Amino acid sequence: MSPDDITLSVSEFVSLVNQTLEYAYPAVTITGELANFRVSKNRWVYFDLKDDDASVRFFGTVYQLPGPLEDGMLLAVQGNPRLHQLYGFSVNIVRMRPVGEGSIKKAAALLEAKLKAEGLFDPSRKRMLPYPPRRIGLITSGESAAYRDFVKILNARWGGVQVELIDVQVQGEIAPLQITAAIEQFNQQAEPPDVLVVTRGGGSAEDLAAFSTEQVTRAVAASRIPTLVAIGHEVDISLAELAADQRASTPSNAAELLVPDRKHVLAGLQATRQQLYQSTERVIANARTQLKHTSQLARQAAEHTVRNAGQKLLLQQQLLQAFNPHAALQRGYAVVRSGNTVVNSGRALKAGTDVTITLSDSRVTATVKSVTMESK
Amino acid sequence: MTKKQDYQALSQELESVLAALQRPDVHVDEAVTLYEQGLKLAAALEGQVKDAENVIKKLKLQYGEDGNNA
């Protein structure tokens, strides 16, 4: 049967073409400039890819978009060519990404503007990282220099911090999915780590593209665990970094921000110890001065009291001497007694009364001859 | 009368003795007794004052002028 003899119904023809296409091109990737981009009912996506001489129609859903797109961007679209029963030929999109420096930047700028408008990068959303953390959830490639640098600097500065790694690919198609899954996995742990660190070393704009995808940026922003994102590069900041609670320029810088340097802490402790010592010395010196002063006062008070007592006693002794009855006898006074009674008046005597006369050095007995009263 | 007796009390007792001695109607026998009593009190007080002075001197030697360990 020659080809001329084949007669088919329209439906049969569509089926035959699709079978042929499926056989010839199970999947094909086409690169071209985006044109006539439109979204229908928030779900269906239609656009053309074109070059100078040709244009091809594409069809897909919004879930396959890498982010906001704009006509003129250069895209690489993988899809299945199909002939639709009603709408003609189009390529059904499987996945797509912007290509070329300009388009990648343009796509990133559009996505950044969209996420910024949603408030994902608001400074008010930023949380403080625990300092230092006890446990770190690390998301990076386990084989990378970034991983080794991070752990090396972390342990050199502080040590004793537990690091739990989820090993992911940090570039390529699968990277955004793995990074997002790792962030979610840490967040779902019964005892989640104190901080999440997402990091990789520097690379080309395409190498770093995973960290500017909508998926990863949203996962970082949604993390209940505080996040630190450090993507090593010079110029551009990835969107994941903008969404993170804190960002660092390199994996090493991330470790530096997370923990203090034990050398500095020890030096600080030494200074504090010195201050403590000096303060204590000062308190002791003050107490010593105070004590010296108090002791002097106490001694002076004691001396003063004793001196006063001595002086008062001397006066009392002088007064006592003034009333010394023996002194009167020595001056020629005498004490006359009748019996045991001291006679201080002549009325108590009469002629013939026996009396005892006490002198300073002796006792004399005598008899009264007469008594003459004297008027005063 | 011992040295242990309160200095203040002894001193007041001596004051009373002196006051009694100075009364115009004091009898000579009473005066002698008071005088003797006064002498004993004065001696006891003097002993206590000397003791106190000695204690202070000793403490000065032991701890220095300022109360610091010499």
| A115/B59 Cα distance (integer angstroms) | 87
8 Å CB contact of B28 and A335: yes
Task: Tell me the average pLDDT across A165-190.
Answer: 92
Q: Would residue B13 count as lying in a domain?
A: yes
The residue ranking higher by pLDDT, A236 or A231, is A231
Q: Would residue B20 count as lying in a domain?
A: yes
Q: Would residue B33 count as lying in a domain?
A: yes
Task: Tell me the average pLDDT across A130-151.
Answer: 91
Q: How does pLDDT run across A287-343, given as a tens digit for each residue?
A: 889 988 888 888 888 889 889 999 999 999 998 888 888 888 888 889 899 988 888
Query: What does the pLDDT read at residue A374?
Result: 84
CA A6-A12-A14 angle, 5° bins: 110
Query: What does the pLDDT read at residue B3?
Result: 47
Range in A187-201, A347-361, B19-33 with the lowest mean pLDDT: B19-33
Q: How does pLDDT run across A252-279, given as a tens digit for each residue?
A: 999 999 998 888 889 999 999 999 999 9
A298 inside 8 A of chain B by CB: yes
The order of strands in the sheet holding A195-200 is: A162-167, A135-140, A195-200, A227-231, A246-248
Helix and strand numbers, DSSP H then E, in chain A = 9, 14
Query: What does the pLDDT read at residue A275?
Result: 93
Query: What does the pLDDT read at residue B70?
Result: 42
A350 inside 8 A of chain B by CB: no
Task: Tell me the average pLDDT across A52-71.
Answer: 88
Calculate the alpha carbon distances from A195 to A131, A180, A230, A259 in Å. 10, 16, 13, 12
Q: How does pLDDT run across A82-139, given as a tens digit for each residue?
A: 998 888 899 999 988 888 877 777 777 888 899 999 999 999 889 999 988 999 999 9
Q: Would residue B68 count as lying in a domain?
A: no
Q: If we measure between CA atoms, which residue out of A139, A214, A224, A241 comes closest to residue A182? A: A139
CA A174-A176-A181 angle, 5° bins: 95
% of chain A residues with pLDDT over 70? 98
Query: What does the pLDDT read at residue B1?
Result: 43
Which residues are bridge partners to A166 per DSSP? A139
% of chain B residues with pLDDT over 70? 86
Which residues are bridge partners to A162 per DSSP? A135
Q: If we measure between CA atoms, which residue out of A206, A210, A136 comes closest to residue A170? A: A210
Is the pTM here over 0.95, yes or no? Answer: no
Query: What does the pLDDT read at residue A376?
Result: 64
- Integer Rg of chain B from CA: 17
Could you tell me the residue range of the domain that residue B37 belongs to?
Answer: 7-63
Q: How does pLDDT run across B19-29, given as a tens digit for each residue?
A: 998 888 888 88
User: Could you tell me how many CB contacts below 8 A there are between chain A and chain B?
Assistant: 74
8 Å CB contact of A325 and B28: yes
Q: If we measure between CA atoms, which residue out of B48, B5, B21, B56 comes closest to residue A310? A: B48
Q: Would residue B2 count as lying in a domain?
A: no
> How many separate domains does chain B show?
1
Q: Which residues of B touch A294 (CB under 8 A)?
A: 67
Residue A121's contacts (CB-CB under 8 Å, 6 or more residues apart) are A115, A242, A243
Give the Cβ contact number of residue B13 at 10 Å: 19
Q: Would residue B19 count as lying in a domain?
A: yes
Query: What does the pLDDT read at residue A298?
Result: 84
Shortest Cα distance, chain A CAs vs residue B4, angstroms: 16
Q: Would residue B15 count as lying in a domain?
A: yes
Helical ranges in chain A per DSSP H: 10-24, 101-118, 145-157, 175-187, 214-222, 239-243, 251-258, 262-322, 325-330
Which DSSP helix (H) or strand (E) runs through B50? helix B28-63
Q: Would residue B52 count as lying in a domain?
A: yes
Task: Tell me the average pLDDT across B32-40.
Answer: 91
B35 inside 8 A of chain A by CB: yes
pLDDT band for B4, please (50, 70, 90 cuts): low
